[in-house]
Amino acid sequence: MTNKNNSVLPAPPHLIGTPAYYQFRHDDFITRNPNITVPNYYLDYGFEYAQKFQNETNQKLSPQGQKWTGEVMTNLQILLENRLSQPDGAEFERNAQTLKNFAFATHVEAYWNENGVAPLYILTFKDLFRILFAPDFRDLVRGKSLLQIVVIVGKLAGFWFSRFGIRKKRYHSL
């Protein structure tokens, strides 16, 4: 299916939250832009890690960790869909580095999953370590990934310290 103005087609709802979403984005880009290189984020990062988390990491996680994985995949894809649906979405998508930077910038928000059934801060340490070490080492040590890790660890520490502080105050008031 093509469209006259080359605008980004919305992903079918049944693909949101699945690795197939990234294949759809890749294929839709090719259909609309036959002479332009597809942004590598779709298959080399999005699809690869969606598959890895769904098919490998998930089996090693608690039920809450598994729920978190599904919610995060959906969060990431909805954030990208929302950006692609903007009036300049097709132009934005044709700049592979801008698309990749945007996608990486959404990771902390999506991973934190504040409004989900399984926010990151309720997961066990075992789940957190399995999630942290699921990506390939080459991807973990890149600047953007390291920054995300630092921000998330900071948010987790802040959450845990605030919770500990609340409990500490309750015990002192007894």
What per-residue confidence (pLDDT) applies to 144?
81
At 32-77, the pLDDT tens digits run 999 999 999 999 999 999 999 999 999 999 999 999 999 999 999 9
> For the chain, what is the HEC assignment?
CCCCCCCCCCCCHHHCCCCHHHHHHHHHHHHHCCCCCCCCHHHHHHHHHHHHHHHHHHHHCCHHHHHHHHHHHHHHHHHHHHHHCCCCHHHHHHCHHHHHHHHHHHHHHHHHCCCCCCCHHHCCHHHHHHHHCCCCHHHHCCHHHHHHHHHHHHHHHHHHHHHHHHHHHHHHCC
This prediction's pTM: 0.87
Name the pLDDT band for 2 (thresholds 50, 70, 90). very low
What per-residue confidence (pLDDT) applies to 105?
94
Q: Where along the chain do its domains lie?
A: 13-172
